[in-house]
Amino acid sequence: MSEATSTTAASSAARQSSVFKLTFRLPIIIWQSLFFIGPLCFMVAMSFFIVRNYRMQEDFVMKNWLKMLGRDYFWDSYVLTWGLAGIGTVVTMLVAFPAAYTLAFKASEAVRRWAIFMLIIPFFTSYLVRIFSWYVILAESGVINAGLSYLGLGPFVMLNTKFGTVVGYMTLTLPLVIILQTFALANIDRSLVEAAFNLGCRPFRTIYRVILPMARTGLIIAAVFCFILSFGDFVSPYYLGGSKPPTLPILIVDTVKSGQQWPRAAVVAVVMMVTLFVVAFAGIMAAYRRRVG
């Protein structure tokens, strides 16, 4: 084999190799740039457009930003959405933890497998249908109050309250959070937990000192997902919370629907997005921060 041919062969192999490489690398770059980055950038640009006679016109004005950020109701919604999503996340994480703990440490493998399997089922049912069902269950004339009335209790107002909203959020997030928490806990080295017990560590102290730190990454990721899902959900606060007052996602729908104010809806959306980026970033930093000491 002469040197020349081997060089050609090598370069053709290299060329082939780079074709191969790009075949796998490029599609997603092109696709996501066109249909993910594109729309998001356009939305940011859109927040500077104007609307005349229900038609959007390209422009560059600060009006939408000044108008939305200058309104008290926008900030009220902002705080409210934070609060609701925050409460929803805390409650969901707390409710999920004993369940995940049971599944990870107490349940047999078969039980765990079936439980996870059951937790996936809700993903195959329509979220809307489940929310509609809650509507019937929580109503004043609904299932729960009918049951309580036999005990001489109630009726309790549960619909169109923040309680209703949180129930809705949990419908969306609880199965996912339990699954994520279970995986986070199941990955812990059990011998360490047992060692803690054997050294006389009490259960709650073990959870606090041993289990939580070791499962931190997974738990924080679960919480971040829970928060993001709740923060962006418009179905629960609308149907179970009576949009009273509206959260940011409802504000987006309202703004689009009435008067076709897409640019102002875009302002709300951009603010939400920035907020969630900050939350997600902070969460990831916290999750992967090296443990000190």
Partner 1 sequence: MKSTANLFGSKLSRRKALAYGAATALSTPFISRAWAAPTEINMLAWYGHGEPDIVAEFEAANNVKFKPKYYAGGDNMLGLIAQSPPGTYDVILSDGEFVQQLNAAGYIEELNAADYPFDDMLYEDFTKFPGHWKDGKLYSMMVRFGHLGVSYNKNAITAEEAMSYSCFWKPEVKGKVGHFDWHLPSLGMMSLYNGNGAGLWDLSDGKWDAVQETTLSLRPQVGGYFDYGGTFNSLKNGEMQAMCGIGDWITGVLEKDGAPVGSVVPKEGGIQWTESYCIGKGTDKADIVKKFIQYMLSADGQVKSAQMAAYPGFAITKSGRAKLIDVDRAEAERTGQIDGMANDPITLVKEGRIHYRNIPVQQTLEDWNDFWSEYKNA
Partner 2 sequence: MSDNRPLRWFLYGYLALVFTFIFAPILFSVIFSFNSDRFPTIPLGSFTLKWYQTVWNDPDVWEAARTSLTVSLSTATIATLLGFATAYTDYRYSFRLKPVYLGLVLLPPTIPLIIMALAMLAWFAKLGISGQVMSIIIAHSVLTAPFAMAIIRLRLSQMDPSLESAAWNLGASQWSALRRVIVPFCLPAIISSFCLTAAVSFDEFAISWFVSGLNKTIPVIILEIVTGNIDPQVNAIGSFVFLVSMTLVIIAQVVLMTRRKKEV
Q: Which 161-190 residues touch partner 1, going by CB under 8 A?
A: 183, 186
Decide: is 95 part of the binding site for partner 1 (CB under 8 A): no
Interface mask (CB under 8 A) for partner 1, residues 42-71, using x and -? -----------xxxx--------------x
Tell which one of 96, 193, 239, 272 touches partner 1 (CB under 8 A).
Answer: 239
Give the residue from 278, 292, 277 showing the smallest Cα distance to 216: 292
What's the CA gap between 71 and 86, in Å, rounded? Answer: 23
Tell which one of 74, 78, 169, 239 touches partner 2 (CB under 8 A).
Answer: 239
Identity of the residue, 141 or 191, whose beta carbon is nearer to partner 1 in the bound complex: 141
Q: How far is the CB of 217 from partner 2 (least distance, A)?
A: 16
| CA separation, residue 58 to residues 34, 49, 70, 211, 273 (Å) | 20, 5, 22, 54, 22
What's the CA gap between 16 and 267, in Å, rounded? Answer: 47
* Residue 186 binds which of partner 2, partner 1, none (CB < 5-8 A, kind-dependent): partner 1
Decide: is 135 part of the binding site for partner 1 (CB under 8 A): yes
> 107 Cβ partners below 8 Å, 6+ apart?
115
What's the CA gap between 188 and 196, in Å, rounded? Answer: 13
Question: Which residues sit opposite 57 in a β-bridge?
Answer: 50
Q: Is 52 helix (H, G, I), strand (E, B) or coil?
A: strand
Decide: is 146 part of the binding site for partner 2 (CB under 8 A): yes
Pairing mode, strands 55-57 and 50-52:
antiparallel
Decide: is 141 part of the binding site for partner 1 (CB under 8 A): yes
Decide: is 186 part of the binding site for partner 2 (CB under 8 A): no
Interface mask (CB under 8 A) for partner 2, residues 254-293, using x and -? --x-----x--xx--x--xx--xx--x-------------
